[in-house]
Structures are given as structure tokens and as C-alpha cells.
A and B are shown apart, each in its own frame.
Chain A
């Protein structure tokens, strides 16, 4: 049985705490992925990003994605933290961690989970560029 933790946060992601949340002496594989906001989009410089969510649905969809991953791979712990609100360029906007007795399941599950998050979870980012202009990303 996999223990799943999903959080939408308005303050910084604590990467150490995310990794610690999947720690287990039975698990020889404990993996953390941090998605950080990029400073450049094409040739434009981004100063900050603002994340907005349909929060109740986002939490529910993330739970479903995590449960699907836990059914597909033998994961013991799975944690997803996603920032909302303003995130400065270079900071972590998403953290995903998983643990399992062996490495293959976590190394397969994390990319699948991130792809699912990016295509299904109702969270949106707005980029603010150096010239002060802003743009919601819908692609």
C-alpha cells in the first residue's frame, strides 16, 4: 500500500522535507525531482511566474494520478508538492518524490507522473517578462 501526500503550497518548497517524506528503510530507491521556473522562454527573459489552480479539482486530479501510479508500480511512498501564487525565476515550482525497494519503479513512475500532471491537472502559469508584460500559458 503506497502512502500518498499531495500539497498545493503558497510558500517555498522544502525539497529536503519532500525527500524525507518518502524515506523508508525498506526502500533502496528514493528519488526526488524538482521542477524549477526557467529564466528564459525562447529569447525572452522571465522575472517571475504566477501559478493559479482550480484547487479542489487540482488536488483531486493529482490524487487520482498518484493512485494510478501507485497501482502501476510498487511504490511505498509518493509525494507531490506544487506551488501556487508568485514564484521567482529559478525557484522550485513542483517537487515529486517516490520510493520503492528497487530503482526501476521510481525511475519509470516519476516521468509518467510529471507528464500526467502537466497534461491533466488544472494549474496554470502566467509568465511576467522583464519588460513588465505578462502572458498566461495555455499550450
Chain B
């Protein structure tokens, strides 16, 4: 199945899009989703390796099984304040 991943800031700039679609087979963990993002767009690999995945607006650990119907977002290192 295809999962849409929301992109922000530098990731959005690199992809030139505010979301990308990745092809996955469920079940899949958050860590595997991050790896798939890097595979689908190698330019994102450097930033993705330092990013977290958010599922429905919450950070998850890399071992968390991802619900394919949830809203997924790639969260690069944050710089607010």
C-alpha cells in the first residue's frame, strides 16, 4: 500500500513537495517508514536519518507499528523559539 508522509521545513524544500508517497507492506514500524522515506528519495536520506516520525501528531519510537490510516509526518530536528 501507499502511505502519504507530510513534510516540513528543510525536508519540504528538498522534496519540493509538502508530502510524499511511499510504498510499504504492512505491518511496518516507524523505523522502517523512515528508511522507506530515505529509499524513495535519496536526497532526503541525510535529514531523515536525524528525523523522528509523528503518527497522528505524536512522536513514536522506531519500534512502534504504524497504522496505515494515521496521519504520518517526518519531523526533522526542530528549531523553534
Contacts and interface: CB of A to CB of B under 8 A. Distances in A.
Nearest to A83: B80
A126 B9 contact: yes
Interface stretch (A19-27, A53-61, A71-79, A97-105): A53-61
A137 interface: yes
Contacts of A126: 9
Instruction: Tell me whether chain A's interface is mostly helix, strand or loop, or mixed.
Output: mixed
B73 A54 contact: yes
Interface residues of B, number: 19
A122 B8 CA distance: 9
A44 interface: no
Contact of A138 (B50, B54, B57): B50
Interface of A: 35, 51-54, 56-58, 60, 82, 93-94, 114, 117-126, 136-139
